[in-house]
């Protein structure tokens, strides 16, 4: 099943009296997504609301957002706990992620270069030096570094990741 949207993060706080909110980025966040403008808020009660991002600024590891229709602190406080999502259909070349994110690879098959099926990506471990694919293979969880020497290709449209692991790599367990 192809994803329709990516969760950028969670609204964690109302900021000031003019209705700004603080976004705590999640694992699928990338800054260029904020340039899309049209976003969606999903409340803790699963109520969906389309919003336009008027402006934003970084504050440490978070972002302060000004959203359309949010005019005061009371409006902003009602959004705390909501997820901020971006529709993948609204992305263009300048707003697409420049690096691989969990929402893109979770659910993809993992195959060797000869086409043999190894398993399915169930998570992406984000690290400072490199990311690793967590691959379910039967009852096992394999750890596959997402580096050019191992991951030969990520074929998002075709739904698979092609790997060429060195000997012993598939013995690593998560």
pLDDT value of position 164: 95
Domains of the chain: 5-90 (2.40.30.60), 102-171 (2.30.30.240)
pLDDT value of position 77: 96
pLDDT at residue 1 greater than cutoff 80? no
pTM for the model: 0.81
Cβ pair 5, 88 in contact under 8 A: yes
pLDDT value of position 2: 54
What are the DSSP E strand ranges found in the chain? 5-15, 20-25, 38-42, 48-59, 62-67, 83-87, 109-112, 117-125, 132-137, 140-145, 151-155, 160-163
> Which is more confident, 98 or 75?
75
Give the mean pLDDT of the chain: 92
Q: Flag the least confident range among 1-5, 40-44, 138-142.
A: 1-5
């Amino acid at each position: 099943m192809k994803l329709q949207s990516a969760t950028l993060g969670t609204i964690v706080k109302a900021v000031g009296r003019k209705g700004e909110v603080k976004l705590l980025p999640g694992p699928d966040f990338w800054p260029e997504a904020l340039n899309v403008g049209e976003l969606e808020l999903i409340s803790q009660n699963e109520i969906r609301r389309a919003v336009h991002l008027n402006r934003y600024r970084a504050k440490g590891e978070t972002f302060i957002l000004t959203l359309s229709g949010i005019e005061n602190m009371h409006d902003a406080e009602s959004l705390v706990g909501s997820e901020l999502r971006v529709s993948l259909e609204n992305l263009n070349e300048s707003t697409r992620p420049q690096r691989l994110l969990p929402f893109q690879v979770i659910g993809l098959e993992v195959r060797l270069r000869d086409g043999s099926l190894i398993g399915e990506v169930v998570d992406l471990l984000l690290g400072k030096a490199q990311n690793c694919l967590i691959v379910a293979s039967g009852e096992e969880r394999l750890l596959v570094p997402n580096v050019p020497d191992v991951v030969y290709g990520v074929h998002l449209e075709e739904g698979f990741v092609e790997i060429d692991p060195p000997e012993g790599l598939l013995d690593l367990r998560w």
